Structure 1
Amino acid sequence: MLPPRDTDSGSVTVLHAVQPGDGGVARVVIDLVRAQLAAGLRVAVACPPDTVLSAAVRAEGADTHAWRAGRNPGPGLVRETRDLARVIRTVRPGLVHAHSAKAGLCARLALRGRVPTVYQPHAWSFEAVEGTTAALARRWEVYGARWADRILCVSEAERRTGEAAGVAAEWSVVHNGVDVARFATDGPSRNPAPTVVCVGRLCRQKGQDVLLAAWPAVLAEVPTARLVLVGDGPDGDRLRAAAGPSVRFTGAVDDTAPWYRAADVVVLPSRWEGMALAPLEAMAAGRPVVVSDVDGARESLPPAHEPLCLVPPEDPAALATALGRLLGRPELRHRLGREAHEHVLSRFDVRRTGAAVADVYRELAGVRGTEHREPIAQ
């Protein structure tokens, strides 16, 4: 059984359960942990060891617990759920915040309503797969919602996608935020050649293959253009094999801010998202962005930018047209960059995100859990 927990809302321990140890989810968690520790909360994080996330939250002062979990469900799911249950029994949290599909699956199976639980999908699991696997993922999200006191979405579009799939839940929408001061620049880039930068994990979700398919058409219009893909991932070798001499791969980097500053335009042609961080970071750096019209994209852009900067997903021709237009018009992209910076400053500052999540926690701090009282996984 789960040990008694401290129900005094002033001394609640928050446990973040997280599977991705890097990328956008990790950055969101790092920012939340920093804000929550500064606010005086006790914070613990269960995540894969020896990752960017585990090192960063430990440096912030959070109590860290090694949770060895893979991205996808598989034969290790029972062990992963039991391991997370052991961490929960050790920490005795007053609230568990599960990030992304795997942590959401394991945490809800382990807890089954015994501790107030926030589930944050960071894009729905059923969007990442197809066929029978997608149907099974959708069925789980519908069923598993009973064990979440709140499902926290990063965009209204992400919430609508969940509702359309049949997920019935208590919802909160809190937009992602970024540290605007960290990414701010002192003006436009000074590249000798027009430079497009794409920051993201090299994987099917982020759509770098669509970008490479569009790139020859961009070069036909702007022959001196250069493309930089920042990040690493499972599709790295395949993407490198498909790239020409005008494309550079940086691999994984510790700090993405210099790459935004080096860009004339930032692009993210994702196939699905909740609300991607990279476009917000790029706009904080005063760079115009071109993004595919997936969940969160319209909410992140200044409305006036949509006709120029929003393209259908998996449409290389539309992507090439948008990039070529901006690369060929320096004054336009400088204006869009200034407007983008002001937009992020007013709406997507990370402090607003932290405060909004804190409000969700305060609503749930006195909740004793749902009516489901099944034993915690052993």
Structure 2
Amino acid sequence: MRTSTTDPRPRVLHLTQPVEGGVARVVTDLVRAQLTAGLAVTVACPDGALTTGLRQLGADVRHWHATRSPGPSLVREVRHLARVIDDVRPHLVHAHSAKAGLAGRLAVRGRIPTVFQPHAWSFEATGGAASALARVWERWGVRWASQVVCVSEAERMTGMHAGIRGRWSVIPNGVDLQRFRPASAGTVRAGLRPLRDVDPAAPLVVCVGRLCRQKGQAVLLRAWSSVARRVPGARLVLVGDGPDRDRLRAYAPRSVLFTGAVADVVPWYQAADLVVLPSRWEGMALAPLEAMACGRPVVATDVDGARESLPLSLAPHCLVPPGNPATLARALTELLLDPPLRASLGRQGLQYVLSSHDVRHTAEAVTDVYRHLIGVRPDPRVAPPQHRESIHP
């Protein structure tokens, strides 16, 4: 559905290059909430599963052909975005992640209120000259961001320490608690085809994320050999796809399963005994929050946002240093060998997510940012969403 420039509703244009994974889920949740609140929402992004889902929600989706990283095509991509902006004439632009943040701010250059949400800083993804160049750009480009929205205080501090002097808001990621919820692991496992030849009683560790350097699956595989020796029959499932797929498969032992891209990650969280995210860097990863919403304990690396996404009582058991296979192996082994502890951590994590990371609160906080910038008001013809009091496992 195309948004008309004569539509009296506030017009928001989301820009995003990633079309899968956590950023796609964040964009989808925001678009759903904003459409419900009566905003006119357009999204410019490459074609993929994200565009299909957004159209089903009723969003106006514009094709933006863009590569994941800056390159020779950047000038063409910026010009394309400028044409989309001229056509949509949004009251506000919300750019997600480094590439869309780069192209979007170059296309707008401060002429329209612009929200930039890094979802982890670009200079953390590289080293040497590329990292230095990314820092220079972020210091310069922040002048074209009316507000920088970080998903954790740690992400904001990383930006501040890099010399980025913007107008900041910290809005933690949230989870759709209607979708991510506890279920019987045994029942769910029976319906997952990749597990058909796995012993239903086998200890199951699940890692959900794009197969890439950021998510740290290579570190996890180095840790897994030790885990498999100490926990006979244990299986590790890597859920997702990405540029490191073939390399990871080449040296993964037989106790590691690869699902490829999946349409729905929820059953994999629910099937797990333990969820792991060995990231090298993050802003605030969605996977641990989603796992805890499903009542599953988590082991994650202590990168930006990790401590803020866990109750304090879980940190000693659930956080490990990034890039350290030995420490990661010990944490996984300890929890796999202690079912009562896993159950306790799962319950604590669930209650924490219910109280602190409901996606509705996230969407409301983002709308408050919009309201500050352009005076957004909910459409009076649209009934406000009904809030649930709680969810029980």
Same-fold status (TM-score > 0.5) = yes
2:140 is aligned to 143
Correspondence list, 1:320-339, <5 A = 320-339=329-348
Q: Which residue of 2 aligns with 1:181?
A: 178
Q: CA offset at residue 180 of structure 1?
A: 1.6
Query: For 1:31 and 1:200, how far apart are their aligned partners in 2?
Result: 18
Query: Partner of 1:143: helix, strand, or coil?
Result: helix
Question: 1: CA distance between counterparts of 2:45 and 2:145?
Answer: 20
The AA in structure 2 aligned to 1:154 is: V
Counterpart of 1:249 in 2: which secondary structure?
A: strand
Q: Distance in 1 between matches of 2:251 and 2:118?
A: 32
Q: Distance in 2 between matches of 1:121 and 1:348?
A: 19
The reply on whether 1:199 has 2:208 as its aligned counterpart is yes
Q: Do 1:187 and 1:286's aligned partners in 2 also have CA atoms closer than 8 Å?
A: no
Q: Distance in 2 between matches of 1:303 and 1:180?
A: 21
Pairing 1:90–2:87 present: yes
CA distance in 2, matches of 1:286, 1:27: 20
Question: What is the distance in 1 between the residues matched to 2:49 and 2:321?
Answer: 32
Instruction: Tell me the residue number matched to 1:127.
Output: 124
Look up the match of 1:241: 250
The residue that corresponds to 1:157 in the other structure is 154
Query: What is residue 25 of structure 2 aligned with on the other side?
Result: 27
Map 1:248-287 to 2 at 5 A.
248-287=257-296
- Output the aligned Cα RMSD: 1.4
Deviation at 1:320, TM superposition (A): 0.2
Which of these residues, 223, 226, 231, is aligned with residue 240 of structure 2? 231
The 5-angstrom pairing of residues 277-356 of structure 1 reads 277-356=286-365
Report deviation, 1:183. Answer: 1.6
Read off the aligned partner of 1:260 and give its amino acid letter: Y
Following the alignment from structure 2 to structure 1, what is the Cα–Cα distance between the partners of residues 86 and 140?
A: 24
CA distance in 2, matches of 1:186, 1:130: 42
Does the 8 Å CA contact 2:281/2:304 hold for their aligned counterparts?
A: yes
Following superposition, the deviation at residue 189 of structure 1 comes to: 5.1
Is the Cα–Cα contact under 8 Å of residues 13 and 41 in structure 1 kept in the other structure? yes
1:186: how far off?
3.6
Q: What is the aligned length?
A: 360
Deviation at 1:11, TM superposition (A): 2.1
Matches of 2:19 and 2:274, distance apart in 1: 28
- Which residue number corresponds to residue 110 of structure 1? 107
Q: Structure 1 length normalisation: TM-score? A: 0.93
| 1:44-78, Cα deviation, whole Å (9 max, x unpaired) | 000002x1211111110000100000111100000
Letter in 1 for 2:163: G
- Percent identical among aligned pairs is 66
CA offset digits 1:106-132 (Å, max 9, x no partner): 111111110000000000000000000
Q: In structure 1, what is the Cα distance between the partners aligned to 2:11 and 2:98?
A: 22
Moved more, 218-227 or 164-173: 218-227
What secondary structure does 1:24 align onto?
Answer: helix
Question: Aligned equivalents of 2:359 and 2:246: distance in 1?
Answer: 34
The CA distance in 2 between the partners of 1:227 and 1:257, in whole Å, is 16
1:15-54 correspondence runs (5 A): 15-49=13-47, 51-54=48-51
Letter in 2 for 1:331: P
Structure 2 Cα separation of the partners of residues 253 and 220 of structure 1 = 29
Distance 1:227 1:334 in 2: 19
Q: How far apart in 2 are the matches of 1:248 and 1:53?
A: 25
Instruction: Specify every segment of 5 or more residues in structure 2 that has no aligned partner in the other structure, as ranges.
Output: 188-199, 377-393
Give how far 1:242 is off: 1.1
The Cα of 1:92 is off from its aligned counterpart by: 0.1
**Runs ≥4 residues deviating over 3 A:** 186-191
Code of the residue aligned with 1:18 in structure 2: it is T
Residues in 2 aligned to 1:309 and 1:317: alpha-carbon distance in whole angstroms:
14
Structure 2 residue matching 1:232: 3-state secondary structure: coil
List per-residue Cα deviations over 1:259-289 (Å, max 9, x = no partner): 0011000000000000001111000000000
**Aligned partner letter, 1:14:** V
Read off the aligned partner of 2:74 and give its amino acid letter.
L
Which region of structure 1 is more displaced relative to structure 2, 10-19 or 306-315?
Answer: 10-19
**Corresponding residue SS for 1:197:** strand
| CA distance, structure 1, for counterparts of residue 331 and residue 251 of structure 2 | 22
SS in 1 for 2:178: helix
Could you list the per-position Cα deviations for residues 84-121 of structure 1 after superposition, in whole angstroms to 9, with x for gaps in the alignment?
A: 00000000000000000011001111111100000000
Counterpart residue type for residue 75 of structure 1:
P
Q: Contact between 2:183 and 2:270, CA under 8 Å: does it hold in 1?
A: no
Tell me which residue corresponds to 2:369: 360
Cα distance in 1 for residues equivalent to 2:173 and 2:186: 26
Amino acid at match of 1:341: L
Q: CA deviation at 1:181?
A: 2.5
Q: How far has the Cα of 1:151 moved from its partner? A: 0.2
Paired residue secondary structure (2:38): coil
- Note the residue ranges of structure 1 that are not aligned, 5 or more in a row: 368-378
Q: Is 1:219 matched up with 2:216?
A: no
Aligned-pair distance for 1:18?
0.5
